[in-house]
A and B are shown apart, each in its own frame.
Chain A
Amino acid sequence: MRADVYALDAAVRLEGPLLFLKRTIRCGLNEAVEIEDDAGRIRLGRIAALDHDTVTVEVLESTAGLALSDTRVRFLGAPLEFAVGPDMLGRVFDGVGRVIDGGPPVSAARTLRIDGQAINPAARDVPREFIETGVSTIDLMNSLVRGQKLPIFSGSGLPHDQLAIQIAQHARLLKAEQGEFAIVFVAIGVPYDTAERFRLAMESSGALEHTVLFLNLASDSSTQRLLSPRYALTAAEYLAFVEGKHVLVLMTDMTNYCEALREVSASHGEVPSRKGFPGYMYSDLATLYERAGRIKDVSGSVTQVPILTMPSDDITHPIPDLTGYITEGQIVLDRELDRVDVYPPVKVLPSLSRLMKDSTGEGYTHVDHPALANQLYAAYARAVHMRVLASVVGREGLSEIDRLFLDFGARFEQELVQQPAARTLDESMEVGWRLLRMLPNAELHRLSDRQIADHIDTTGDA
């Protein structure tokens, strides 16, 4: 039996999501509390700050209707924990890990701290296995690797959710010893329809049975929003490192998370840093993103694809900027491509996957994959440069070869970036070689003679 430690009538002030108590009980930072009001309704909370006289509690639900008198605060003496088990697959949870699909509670195999624990860098394994997503601009140009964290930088109104759904449905490993895939989807402050669309898409493709959904909707409290990715990642870590699955975590939308962080920080009265965001946002985001990875001698992995909408498409905004610091690359979506109906509208040049070099090429994908990606990048960069020139001097002012590159750029966007359906890596590579055939061999400096003989000169047509 556990002692019931509570404080009655200790509340002195209530302000937004924060409840201030007289410090009458010994407690530690970040411990969980339960707040029981006079009607017996229980709300979850967390100790956010301590000083000599007061305890500041972050209430993880709406504080409307809470009074100072008759409010009982129960101290659990432990950080927030999440009861996880293999039955989580196929279930829907709210932002603080409570079942909301009407089904029975999940039988707990373990109880884990939602903050997780930093993985010892020496125990980490290098992510190497290529994940095929079916998207050419990702597979061919910016490969996703098991254990990687690769964010999608998007803007409001761009089809990032659609892209995320597509990745979730098609993601597979190239090698035969595939292992089991699981998907953890966490909606952070998104509107109901986005969450519902994702659930329906997973249901209709039959993928729901290996998916765990966490829904923190736009109407939920912002303190809760800070915890929903942590609950989701705890579930992902359990599935990966205990159950041995390969877990793909999709988090949408990290911008809402950062806005919530700013809101809560402001209500604590902290000194704001860039654009009003708290100075510790970098460290805070890192505690989420760094939970991706692989561990030596453990079969599972956690791969993260966080999605964020850049406020007014500004990639220098603190949210994409700090995210880019921590993650291993980024996929950038482009409004101009979206306007001309190119789907997925991936802006290839600023997109990057830092782990690509370790997971492509001989022994991983195709031996000529890195060279092809390199050559396509070089040629497309030149095409974009020519486009700038052509906008001033006109097409006629360019040399014949430059005009060829201009055409290459247009076809690259229409045939490789644009894709009506998912492609396998081999199909994507074939499109890449086909596009390069329209350029003279002398311009393909990034390919060796053998590669040109094998792939460019095979059909002979330009």
Chain B
Amino acid sequence: MNRILTVGLALVVCASLTTPVMAQDAPELEDPNTGRGMMERTLLVANTSNMPVAAREASIYTAVTVGEYFRDQGMRVALMADSTSRWAEALREVSGRLGELPGEGGYPAYLSSRQADFYERAAHVRTLGGELASLSIIGAVSPPSADFSEPVTNHTKRYVRCFWALDAVRAQARFYPAIHPLQSYSEDIEVLSQFWSQHGNPQWTEQRRRFLGLLEEQARLERMARIVGKDALPPRQQQVLLCAELINEAFLRQSAFSPLDRFCSPERQIAMMQTLVQFIDLCEAALAQQVDMAEVAALPLLRRLRRMGEDIGDQRLDDFDALRREMETAFLQLARAGAADAG
């Protein structure tokens, strides 16, 4: 339930096991916090797939060692390994050449312990100099044919605390980032809730739960709508579908093409989240007053809500308040019109 966020990183170490072009992207990125080149605090370890296979196996260790070196100097380091599947592929290839007995999926039996060795090197430490420093590891796993039950994905999930599942259906509709909110999880919600409190949103945990609840119900209703048809659903369920769709389109979807929306500060995330929570509240109130959900869905305001990420930048957070006031007025008018009809 987090829009992707980078906080106060001193440095990014990248082990890029991918095709060269992906590696080329990094030098041109701009750091949203400072406006300077991302490459100024980045180190790339590149091993393209036509380079020797043993070097591919080693590159991940090279990167994590460099990461630890910077960590020991008191920096907060994020290491992005793209992708550990290709690293495992190299492990399999070398193991095959050594004539070792293959385990599950042809990978060597020690695959999981090697992965554990790697992920366990992530840590939050106090250095000898007394500073707080950390090394965080983000591993990209690219399972063959998006099959999350294969060994590399499975073992990875055993050792990590947070999992972002990219969803093929979302990706095909060019929904970015294609993180599936229901398949993904984080075990650090309680810690993060403190973070959000400090940034001015003490209700974050409940709001997150509410959003997830709506998305969960949407998934269930979509299955049901397949059988009975969407029009046959009662107003309460239509309201759930409308709100869930709005959470997806307005909050979870981010436009990487838009200079305003490719990065989202915590403050803006909070404003967006609260705007949506208010919409859901108003929607439920309207439902109680028996306003037709089709009328709510036809509000011209919805288009602006869906595009608020792209249209309202970090500099103009006040616009969210304006949007919320307009929302209230619009719902008030709906309710009045409904009452007039009834009268």
Task: Mark A residues whose CB is within 8 Å of B.
Answer: 118-119, 121-122, 124-127, 148, 270-271, 273-274, 278-280, 282-283, 286-287, 289-291, 293, 315-316, 318, 321, 325-328, 349-350, 354-355, 357-358, 361, 370-371, 373-374, 377-378, 381-382, 388-389, 392-394, 396-399, 402, 441-442, 445-446, 448
Q: List chain B residues, Cβ under 8 A from A442.
A: 298, 300, 302-303
User: Does B202 make an interface contact (CB < 8 A)?
Assistant: no
Q: List chain B residues, Cβ under 8 A from A441.
A: 303
Whether B19 pairs with A290 at a CB distance below 8 angstroms is yes
Q: Contact mask B288-332 → A, CB, 8 Å, 1/0?
A: 000000000010101100110011000000000000000000000
CA distance A193 to B168 in the complex (A): 38
Interface residues of B in 228-262 (CB under 8 A from A): 228-232, 249, 255-257
User: Does B173 make an interface contact (CB < 8 A)?
Assistant: yes
Pick the residue among B24, B50, B229, B303 that contacts A124 (CB under 8 A): B24
Whether B28 pairs with A126 at a CB distance below 8 angstroms is yes
Contact A328 to B21, CB < 8 A, known contacts A274-B106, A381-B173, A397-B228: yes
Pick the residue among B28, B174, B230, B257 that contacts A361 (CB under 8 A): B257
Q: List chain B residues, Cβ under 8 A from A446.
A: 255
Q: List chain B residues, Cβ under 8 A from A119.
A: 20
Contact A402 to B230, CB < 8 A, known contacts A273-B106, A290-B48, A316-B147: yes
CA distance A441 to B307 in the complex (A): 13
Q: List chain B residues, Cβ under 8 A from A392.
A: 226-227
B255 CB to closest chain A CB (Å) equals 8
Q: Which 5 A-B pairs have the closest CB atoms?
A: A397-B229, A381-B173, A316-B145, A286-B49, A290-B50
User: Does B112 make an interface contact (CB < 8 A)?
Assistant: no
Beta-carbon nearest neighbor of A127 in chain B:
B21
Contact A121 to B257, CB < 8 A, known contacts A355-B21, A377-B173: no
Beta-carbon nearest neighbor of A284 in chain B:
B50
Q: List chain A residues, Cβ under 8 A from B20.
A: 119, 121, 124, 290, 293
User: Does B142 make an interface contact (CB < 8 A)?
Assistant: yes
User: Does B217 make an interface contact (CB < 8 A)?
Assistant: no
Whether A316 pairs with B106 at a CB distance below 8 angstroms is no
Whether B172 pairs with A381 at a CB distance below 8 angstroms is yes
Main secondary structure of the interface of B (DSSP, over half): helix
Whether A126 pairs with B21 at a CB distance below 8 angstroms is yes
Count of CB-CB pairs between chains A and B under 8 Å? 145
CA distance A318 to B22 in the complex (A): 22
Whether A279 pairs with B93 at a CB distance below 8 angstroms is yes
Q: List chain B residues, Cβ under 8 A from A389.
A: 225-226, 229-230
Q: List chain B residues, Cβ under 8 A from A378.
A: 173-175
B330 CB to closest chain A CB (Å) equals 14
Q: List chain A residues, Cβ under 8 A from B287.
A: none
A15 CB to closest chain B CB (Å) equals 21
A272 CB to closest chain B CB (Å) equals 9
Q: List chain A residues, Cβ under 8 A from B249.
A: 445
Whether A382 pairs with B173 at a CB distance below 8 angstroms is yes
Whether B172 pairs with A377 at a CB distance below 8 angstroms is yes
Q: List chain A residues, Cβ under 8 A from B49.
A: 282-283, 286, 289-290, 325-326
Q: List chain A residues, Cβ under 8 A from B271.
A: none
B326 CB to closest chain A CB (Å) equals 16
Other A-B contacts than A121-B23, A124-B21, 6 sampled, CB-CB below 8 A, are A126-B25, A271-B99, A279-B93, A283-B93, A291-B50, A445-B303
Whether A279 pairs with B145 at a CB distance below 8 angstroms is no
CA distance A378 to B173 in the complex (A): 5
Return 13 A-B CB contacts under 8 Å, by A number.
A118-B50, A273-B92, A273-B102, A279-B92, A289-B49, A316-B145, A328-B19, A328-B21, A354-B21, A354-B22, A397-B230, A441-B303, A442-B303
Q: List chain B residues, Cβ under 8 A from A396.
A: 229
CA distance A127 to B123 in the complex (A): 37
A146 CB to closest chain B CB (Å) equals 12
Interface residues of B in 112-150 (CB under 8 A from A): 142, 144-145, 147
Q: Contact mask B165-195 → A, CB, 8 Å, 1/0?
A: 0001100111100000000000000000000
CA distance A445 to B307 in the complex (A): 7
User: Does B5 make an interface contact (CB < 8 A)?
Assistant: no
A283 CB to closest chain B CB (Å) equals 5
Contact A399 to B307, CB < 8 A, known contacts A118-B51, A126-B28, A316-B147: no
Whether B99 pairs with A283 at a CB distance below 8 angstroms is no
Q: List chain B residues, Cβ under 8 A from A326.
A: 19, 49
Beta-carbon nearest neighbor of A376 in chain B:
B174
Whether A377 pairs with B174 at a CB distance below 8 angstroms is yes
